[in-house]
Amino acid sequence: QQQVKQSPQSLIVQKGGIPIINCAYENTAFDYFPWYQQFPGKGPALLIAIRPDVSEKKEGRFTISFNKSAKQFSLHIMDSQPGDSATYFCAASHEKEAGTALIFGKGTTLSVSS
Amino acid sequence: DTGVSQDPRHKITKRGQNVTFRCDPISEHNRLYWYRQTLGQGPEFLTYFQNEAQLEKSRLLSDRFSAERPKGSFSTLEIQRTEQGDSAMYLCASSRGTGRPGELFFGEGSRLTVL
Chain B residues within 8 A of A32 when measuring between CB atoms: 102
The answer to whether the Cβ–Cβ distance between B50 and A42 falls below 8 Å is: no
As a whole number of angstroms, the distance between CA A50 and CA A37 comes to 15
Q: Do A87 and A95 touch, CB atoms closer than 8 A?
A: no
- State pLDDT tens for residues A13-57: 999 999 999 999 999 989 899 999 999 989 999 999 999 889 999
- State pLDDT tens for residues B10-45: 999 999 999 999 999 999 898 999 999 998 899 999
- State pLDDT tens for residues A60-82: 999 999 999 999 999 999 999 99
At residue B96, the pLDDT reads 85
CB pairs under 8 A between A and B: 60
Name the minimum distance, in Å, from the CA of B107 to any CA of chain A: 6
Q: Do B11 and B22 touch, CB atoms closer than 8 A?
A: no
Q: Apex CA A40: angle with CA A35 and CA A41, to 5°?
A: 110
What are the Cα distances from residue A15, in Å, to A81, A114, B71, B111?
Answer: 5, 5, 49, 32
Chain A residues within 8 A of B50 when measuring between CB atoms: 98-99
| A43: nearest CB among B42, B45, B91 | B91
